[in-house]
Amino acid sequence: MTNERVERLVSSFKEIFGGDPDVLVRAPGRVNLIGEHTDYNAGFVFPVAIDRDIMVAARRRDDGLVRVRSLDFGASVEFPLSDIQYDNDQKWSNYPRGVAHFLQEDSHSIYGMDAIITGNVPQAAGLSSSAAMEVATAMTFEKISGLDIDPAQMALLCQKAENKFVGVNCGIMDQFISRMGQKDHALLLDCRSLAFELVPLHFDTVKIVVCNTGVKRGLVDSEYNERRSECERGVTILEEFLPGIEALRDVELDDLLKYSSYIPEITEKRCRYVVKENIRVLESVEALEEGDLIKFGDLMNDSHIGLRDEYEVSCPELDAMVEIAWSMDGVIGSRMTGAGFGGCTVSLVVVDALQEFIDKINDEYPKCTGLKPEIYVCAAEDGAGTIEI
């Protein structure tokens, strides 16, 4: 599969630009196992990089021009490094544009390039195709320009491109895991210090199954920003009682409960979810390290309940998908993943029950929602890297 995609990428490069590319780069999408909406609260997340990625084939240019062809959008753009503008028509091109802009702003001296991009990360599904595109193009500029960019700095730079150029106010999780993931591991990230631990999955008898509800995440931008503000509001109120706190990460559950009557109800619910989710992430990593998958699965389920009832970022389709999963014996845990309001669920499914799981989702989800699900059985893969030509 990968080889066919690489061959197609290289032959398209030859066809469109003539000659061979200098470099091939891939950067994966991600699925978050647990730790949702905690990254922008300086908390903990536990994602894996998946075996769906964005690939770039590129060759350096010496005239400072960047020419990019997207095979998936069937469109091309070109822009000079000296004058990078937001593109309203070819929105996908704002990822490479933003990355090139901030690489230069951070004083990296980069070359122009001819590049072809293609990917198989489902778009607008909550699997971070945008972060994959940012990291893939950042690494391509790094390689063709002979740079050596610290991986965490690259993730931060890609996040900056998404926040300030593309205009989406995301946290650091997606770019970080796309850059730093490791095969057969999940990554526990402290989103404040960016300290991380790669935790082996030992999932010989278990599969990570991602189910796409088919609901595109329409509301996500406004609701996402609103949740961020509610968390900040909570911190501002709690600061009066808990001097020195900077984020919900610093708030203990007991303290939150003690002062909850001072916080408006909705804000308090949001804060409660985040404080509890941070605890769940740390407990789930412990459970995994002890080989206690049942506990891990229970924590995933609790995470979904919190996202549904306290943080209120689920939707009927995500709930239906999760409930079908919960009703099955071979499912260890299931929850929505990503920002919410549509997109995907992630389930841990015992290998022996995998086919039954797939059949049941395909059969029951359309009956509940009128929508057709897409199911991706995923493997935990390496983060971004070059591909040997």
Instruction: Supply 367's token pair.
Output: 């009956």
Is 173 a residue that touches ligand GLA (CB under 6 A)?
A: yes
Task: Show the binding pattern over residues 54-93: x = contacts ligand GLA (CB under 6 A), - = does not.
Answer: ----------------------------------------
Nearer to ligand GLA, 123 or 386 (CB): 123
Q: Which of 51, 174, 277, 310 binds ligand GLA (CB under 6 A)?
A: 174
Beta strands (DSSP E) in the chain are: 23-34, 44-61, 65-70, 75-80, 112-119, 185-190, 196-200, 206-212, 331-337, 344-350, 374-378, 385-386
Q: Is 205 exposed, middle or buried (0-12, 13-18, 19+ CB in 10 A)?
A: exposed
Supply the minimum distance, in Å, between the C-beta of residue 155 and ligand GLA.
11
Is 40 a residue that touches ligand GLA (CB under 6 A)?
A: yes
Q: How far apart are CA 360 and CA 93, in angstroms?
A: 39
| Beta strands at 65-70 and 112-119: parallel, antiparallel or unpaired | parallel
CB burial readout 250-261, b (16+ within 10 A) else e? bbeeeebeebbe
Size of the site for ligand GLA (CB under 6 A): 10
Catalytic residue among 174, 250, 302, 319: 174
Nearer to ligand GLA, 57 or 187 (CB): 187
Active site residue 114: no
Q: Which of 26, 37, 179, 270 binds ligand GLA (CB under 6 A)?
A: 37
Is 39 a residue that touches ligand GLA (CB under 6 A)?
A: yes
Instruction: Supply 108's token pair.
Output: 């990296």
Q: Which of 119, 333, 338, 383 binds ligand GLA (CB under 6 A)?
A: 338
Supply the minimum distance, in Å, between the C-beta of residue 170 and ligand GLA.
3
Nearer to ligand GLA, 57 or 177 (CB): 177
Provide the annotated active-site residues. Answer: 174
Binding residues for ligand GLA, rule: CB under 6 A, are: 36-37, 39-40, 170-171, 173-174, 338-339
